[in-house]
Amino acid sequence: MPPVYRGPFGKPQAERLLWRAGFGPRRGEAERLARLGLDGAVHSLTRPGRDRLKGPRPHDDRGRSLAPLDRWGHDQLWWLDRMVRTTKPLHERMTLVWHDWFATSRDGVGPARLMLNQNRLFRRQGLGSFHTLLTDVTRDPAMLLWLSGVDNTKDSPNENYARELMELFTLGADRGAYSERDVREQARALTGWRNSWDDDLGPVRFRYDKRRHDAGSKRIFGKRGHFDWHDSCRLCVHHRLHPSFFVTKLWSYFVPVPPRPGTKRALQHLYVRSGYQVRPVVEAILRHPALYTGPRMVKPPAVYIAGLLRGLGRGVDTEAWTWLMSLAGQQLFYPPNVAGWDDTRWLDTATFRARWEIAGYAIRPRVLKENARHVPHRPEKLVERARALLGEPTLTGPTEAALMRFAKRSLADANAEWKKRQYPPLIENALRQLLATAPDLQTC
Partner 1 sequence: MKSGCHHCDEFSRASLLRRGAAEAGRGLPAIEAGMPAPAGTGLDRRSFVSGAFGLALSVYGLGRLGLFEEGIAEAASGPAKPVLVSVFLPGGADSLSVLYPALDPNYHRLRPKLALPDGAGPVFSEDTRLHWHPSLQPLATLHGEGKVSVLPAVGYTHPDQSHFTSRHFWEVGATDARLSTGWMGRYLDHAGTKGNPLQGLSLDYQLQPALASTKVPVASLAAPDEYTFWAPGVWGEVEDRMLQTLASLGSRRSDPVLNQAARATAQSDKLRRQLAPFAASSGNGFGSPVTYPDVDDSFPRQLSGLAAMLAANLPLRCVAITAPGEYDTHSDQPQALADGLDVTARTLLAFQRDLEARGLADRVLTLVWSEFGRRGEENGSDGTDHGAAGAAFLIGKRARGKMVGEFPGLANLDDDGNLRPTADFRGVYCSLLEQWLGMDAAAVIPHAKSFARPALVS
Site for partner 1 in 356-375 (CB under 8 A): 356-357, 359-360, 363-364, 367-370
What is the footprint of partner 1 within residues 380-439 (CB under 8 A)? 396, 398-399, 401-403, 405-406, 409-410, 413, 419, 423, 425-427, 429-430, 433-434, 437-439
How many residues touch partner 1 under the rule CB under 8 A: the total is: 80
Site string for partner 1, 302-321 (x = CB under 8 A): ------------------x-
Q: Which of 86, 118, 119, 160 binds partner 1 (CB under 8 A)?
A: 160
Q: Which of 12, 231, 323, 394 binds partner 1 (CB under 8 A)?
A: 323
Quick one: 276 or 321, whose CB is closer to partner 1? 321
- CB atoms closer than 10 angstroms to residue 232: 25
Instruction: Tell me if 350 contacts partner 1 by CB under 8 A.
Output: yes
Quick one: 114 or 266, whose CB is closer to partner 1? 114
**Rounded to the nearest whole angstrom, what is the least distance from the CB of residue 329 to partner 1 in the complex?**
5
Residue type at 366 in one-letter notation: R
CA distance 259 to 288: 10
**Rounded to the nearest whole angstrom, what is the least distance from the CB of residue 424 to partner 1 in the complex?**
10
Reported as type and span, the H/E element at residue 119 is helix 112-125
CA distance 5 to 25: 21
Q: Which of 80, 235, 297, 390 binds partner 1 (CB under 8 A)?
A: 297
First to last CA, the chain: 26
As beta bridge partners, residue 203 has 197
Query: Nearest 5°: phi and psi at 163?
Result: -70, -50
Q: Is residue 248 packed enough to be buried (19+ CB in 10 Å), middle (13-18) or exposed (0-12)?
A: middle
**Rounded to the nearest whole angstrom, what is the least distance from the CB of residue 177 to partner 1 in the complex?**
13
- CB atoms closer than 10 angstroms to residue 169: 28
* β 202-208/193-198 pair status: antiparallel
Characterize 12-28 residue by residue with b for buried, 16 or more Cβ atoms within 10 angstroms of its Cβ, and e for exposed.
ebbbbbbbbbbbbbbee
CA distance 423 to 295: 38
Quick one: 117 or 337, whose CB is closer to partner 1? 337
Alpha-carbon distances of 101 from 218, 304, 424, rounded to whole Å: 27, 19, 47
Quick one: 56 or 406, whose CB is closer to partner 1? 406
Q: Which of 6, 345, 377, 420 binds partner 1 (CB under 8 A)?
A: 345
Q: Is residue 365 packed enough to be buried (19+ CB in 10 Å), middle (13-18) or exposed (0-12)?
A: exposed
What is the footprint of partner 1 within residues 132-151 (CB under 8 A)? 146-148, 151
**Rounded to the nearest whole angstrom, what is the least distance from the CB of residue 29 to partner 1 in the complex?**
22
Query: Which residues lie closer than 8 Å to 440 by C-beta, 6 or more apart?
Result: 393, 394, 395, 396, 399
**Rounded to the nearest whole angstrom, what is the least distance from the CB of residue 59 to partner 1 in the complex?**
19
**Dihedral of alpha carbons 231, 194, 119, 357, sign:** positive
**Rounded to the nearest whole angstrom, what is the least distance from the CB of residue 163 to partner 1 in the complex?**
5
What is the footprint of partner 1 within residues 19-58 (CB under 8 A)? none
**Rounded to the nearest whole angstrom, what is the least distance from the CB of residue 54 to partner 1 in the complex?**
27
**Rounded to the nearest whole angstrom, what is the least distance from the CB of residue 126 to partner 1 in the complex?**
23
**Rounded to the nearest whole angstrom, what is the least distance from the CB of residue 438 to partner 1 in the complex?**
5
Site string for partner 1, 99-128 (x = CB under 8 A): ------x-xx--------------------
Instruction: Tell me if 349 contacts partner 1 by CB under 8 A.
Output: yes
Choices 89-97, 128-136, 296-304, 379-387; region in contact with partner 1 by CB under 8 A: 296-304
Quick one: 276 or 333, whose CB is closer to partner 1? 333
**Rounded to the nearest whole angstrom, what is the least distance from the CB of residue 101 to partner 1 in the complex?**
12
Instruction: Tell me if 60 contacts partner 1 by CB under 8 A.
Output: no
CA distance 149 to 233: 14
Q: Which of 17, 270, 331, 379 binds partner 1 (CB under 8 A)?
A: 331
Contact, 316 vs 80, CB < 8 A?
A: yes
Contact, 379 vs 407, CB < 8 A?
A: yes
Query: Nearest 5°: phi and psi at 225?
Result: 180, 170
Q: Using only C-alpha atoms, what is the Rg of the chain? A: 24
What is the footprint of partner 1 within residues 223-242 (CB under 8 A)? none
Q: Which of 4, 173, 201, 388 binds partner 1 (CB under 8 A)?
A: 173
